[in-house]
Amino acid sequence: MRSRRSDLDPHGEPELTRSKDMNANVASEQSRVLPVLTRELKAKGWRDTADKDVDFSFLHFRDLALRLGRARQREQLLHEVFAGLSELLPHRRIVLQSFARDTQQTARLWSFPREPEGPLVSLSEDASEDDALLVAALSRAGLTRSASYLPRFADSRAGFDLLLDDGKLPCALLALEYDEEGPSVERDRRFLRGFALHLRALLAALAERERAEEAELWLHALREEVEIPLFSLTPEGVLGRVNSAFAKLLELPSESLVGQRLVHFLTPGCRELFSALLLRLREGQRAAIDEPMQLVRSSGSPITLDVHFVSLPRRGSKHELLGIGRDRSEVRYLEEQIIQAEKLATLGQLAAGVVHELNNPLTSITVYGEYLLRKASSSASLETEKLQRIVEAAERMLRFTRDLVTYARPSTDPPRRLTLHEVLDQSIVFCEHIIDAYGIRIDKNYGDTAAQVYGVKDQLQQVFINLITNACHAMQGRSGVLHIQTSVEEAFFRIDIQDNGEGIPLVNQERIFEPFFSTKGEGKGTGLGLSIVKNIIQQHNGHVELNSDVGKGSIFSIYLPQSHP
């Protein structure tokens, strides 16, 4: 009774990508080796028909060899070897031990007629005529070397082992054992040594097939899974192969790009540069070339691509280009946003000088206005009310310019206790211009009037000004009401800034605090505001939450730790 047979169907096709070239290689190796092996076996006395002294004929062996040629992977081939030898040599004890191709550790064990009792880690010096393969098997498969064969079965008195290889690496160890020494042992050894030559050719072809399939899978993953634009060009500038990342950039299906001239997708200013590149290619220059390219998507929008061109050999004298691209559009957008942020920072620095120039005439207006107001009050003039408005407006402008300088100046103040509602009110004053321009009504609902937080004043003002400004933008064109509410939640003060604007879609809520992410459109925002808000609040040991419904509005909730006086 046979044991531990493979669960592979000997005649079934494994679930592999079929390769016609590899099939042809296996068939070619078989047709080359089989006639040579036939002559060698016949020269050694093997007959074309069976007789009483020989368990099988050469015809039986040839049938087995042809059956082995149909195997499509190594494990299937070794299974066929074991099954065939078990049938052709029924009076022998057989062990076939396969090694994994990558680790060379034991991968599978077949045995007939039962499981072996002895050690499976020994290798005799006669197992292979190739010392290099013997050393590889000993070092990588963890086998021990023995001067003579060590039986695997307890009742065996003779035997031998053979190392099966693909010409480069050990693939399996085959062992045959007998009840006693006799002529059949040496005859089987001679036969199996010749048989091993045939197996080497098949194993080598299968190894090449597996390497080719792995390379094909790797190239497929490189083409389709990596988010790097890749394409090939003929010397005439025709697109050969393109990957999905390149097709996605142009907003076109991959199959529609193959056979098209790349120049059709270039901007007019880039076509001359590209023509010069093709000329260098046709002149035989094979060095790698880095060129920026500006392409046009199917929607008409431009895209900038940094492309590294490498010349690849083709059949004949022609070469083709492999283009490895990097989309620069997002990088350029981020660079523009950083420049805009730097401009705003410079504008903040200029504000201090402008405010200084405004303060002098404002101070004069305030002083003379107060003088005229006192004089008019003593004479009961009818112009008192108008003078009062002038003084109040001038004082308001002075407060505003003073606070503006404080806000624009880089913060060097250490954190201190602050009255939360005073910081909120000052922030509202900063935003009065946009509140009035958009016709927004403010609804304040403050809780604990003595609420104090520990922080940097101008940083917290920056948070509230940003949120109030965003809320006003969201309510543009609506009858907007801005609700500002404070409350206490456990150890935190909660500040809710709520609008009844358009709301934020769920897909954008996940990215709303990312740097440079903006939904306001080009030129209307840097995308830095909310990321700065989140960063400042985290530095104050607090956190920010967003609750928004499309069409109903948004609530930004700020949580700041309480600071008791």
Q: What is the CATH number of the domain that holds 237?
A: 3.30.450.20
For residues 365 and 475, membership in a common domain is answered with no
The tens digit of pLDDT for each residue in 104-162 reads 777 888 999 999 887 677 888 888 777 776 676 667 667 788 888 989 998 999 999 99
Enumerate the β-bridge partners of residue 487. 494
Which of 366, 395, 410 marks a domain boundary? 410
- Residue 488's CB is within 10 A of a number of other CB atoms, namely 12
Query: Regarding predicted confidence, which is higher, 162 or 337?
Result: 162
For residues 308 and 424, membership in a common domain is answered with no
For residues 266 and 130, membership in a common domain is answered with no
Confidence (pLDDT) at 525: 54
pLDDT band at 193 (very low <50, low <70, confident <90, very high): confident
Which helix (H) or strand (E) segment is 545 a member of? strand 543-549
Q: What would the mean pLDDT of 396-407 be, rounded to a whole number?
A: 66
Rounded Cα distance between 247 and 234, Å, is 18
CA-closest candidate to residue 559, choices 542, 547, 545: 542
| Confidence check: pLDDT of 178 > 90 | yes
Residue numbers of the domain that contains 291: 230-327
Best-predicted range by mean pLDDT among 308-322, 359-373, 440-454?
A: 440-454
- Give the count of domains, the chain: 4
- Distance, C-alpha 247 to centroid of its chain: 18
Give the end-to-end CA distance of the chain in Å, rounded to a whole number: 90
- Residue 562 burial by CB count (10 A; 0-12/13-18/19+): exposed, middle or buried? middle
For residues 278 and 199, membership in a common domain is answered with no
Residue type, 259: G
Domain for residue 141, yes or no? Answer: yes
Confidence (pLDDT) at 495: 93
When the pLDDT of each residue in the chain is averaged and rounded to a whole number, the result is 77
Confidence (pLDDT) at 8: 33
pLDDT band at 395 (very low <50, low <70, confident <90, very high): confident
Domain for residue 225, yes or no? Answer: no
DSSP 8-state assignment for residue 453: E
Which of 195, 220, 245 marks a domain boundary? 220
Confidence (pLDDT) at 380: 60
Query: Regarding predicted confidence, which is higher, 30 or 163?
Result: 163
Rounded Cα distance between 253 and 343, Å, is 41
Here the tokens at position 465 are 């000004």
Here the tokens at position 46 are 């093997």
Query: What CATH number should be reported for the domain holding residue 337?
Result: 1.10.287
CA-closest candidate to residue 209, choices 73, 29, 13, 103: 73
CB 307 within 8 A of CB 325: yes
Query: Regarding predicted confidence, which is higher, 197 or 130?
Result: 197
Which of 199, 220, 241 marks a domain boundary? 220
Domain for residue 386, yes or no? Answer: yes
